[in-house]
Amino acid sequence: MLLQIPDLLTTEQVAHARRLLADAPWQHGSETAGRQAAVAKNNLQLPLDCEAARTISRAVVEAVERSALMLTATLPRRIYAPRVNRYGGDWPNYGEHVDNAVRFDPETGEQVRTDISCTVFLSDPVEYDGGELQVRDTFAAHGIKLPAGHAVIYPGTSVHQVTAVTRGCRLACFFWIESLVRSAEQRRLLFDFDMALMHLREAHGEDTHTVALSGTYHNLLRMWAGH
Ligand code: NI
């Protein structure tokens, strides 16, 4: 499922992140890519152990945990510590690749299965040309370029790329989520169910039927949550 999460970060959080990134110690992105991905990876990335990376990573995880839309769409079990990257100048793109299925999180020492990929945009589209996130599915390659503070989630299983930035610079944060529900199909059913239930409650208030449906939602989640 491709889904936009508007305003995951506030304008103030984006501005703060941008100030921290102004003189950050960037390094070459291939250091954290798998072998196939490293060949295609032509960008810069913040090392984990700098203040900017830690502060931004923490803000993004907190934002995910506060976002009802994000939580219902992803049902997170683990979140891989968000990283920050930069495209532009001599390091303009990341060619087509697939992300490693399992990543070792150096922060927590845990293995994280990359069910869902997420990008949080830290630059506005007017600041750069190119730099589109393209996610391929069975229908087409979808081009995604969102305002700063917005996020997009897409299946960890998909082939994707970031096209070359030809003007300016594109800053973004990226991370992966291991979901309580491994199957994308089951996750999608739960998401549709939860959204419809939310609209029912808004329109008619809580009643016996919405309580019963809510019970069914949780029973499905209980049945499907596992490894
Ligand atoms: Ni990737």
Amino acid 29: pLDDT: 82
Distance 211 CA to ligand 1 centre (A): 40
Distance 94 CA to ligand 1 centre (A): 8
Tokens of 75: 């049902």
- Tell me which of 107 and 70 has the higher pLDDT: 70
Handedness of CA 54, 59, 64, 69 (dihedral sign): negative
List, as ranges, residues with CB under 5 A of the ion ligand 1. Answer: 99
Distance 98 CA to ligand 1 centre (A): 6
Amino acid 226: pLDDT: 83
Amino acid 165: pLDDT: 97
User: Rounded to the nearest 5 degrees, what angle is found at the Cα of 152, between the Cα atoms of 222 and 164?
Assistant: 145
| Domain positions in the chain | 3-179, 184-224
> 209: pLDDT confidence band, cut at 50, 70 and 90?
very high
Q: Tell me how crowded residue 95 is: count the other CB atoms within 10 A of its CB.
A: 14
Amino acid 39: pLDDT: 73
Cβ contacts of 207 within 8 Å, gap of 6 or more: none
Amino acid 9: pLDDT: 98
CATH of 3-179, one of 3.40.640.10, 2.60.120.620, 3.40.50.620, 2.60.40.1120: 2.60.120.620
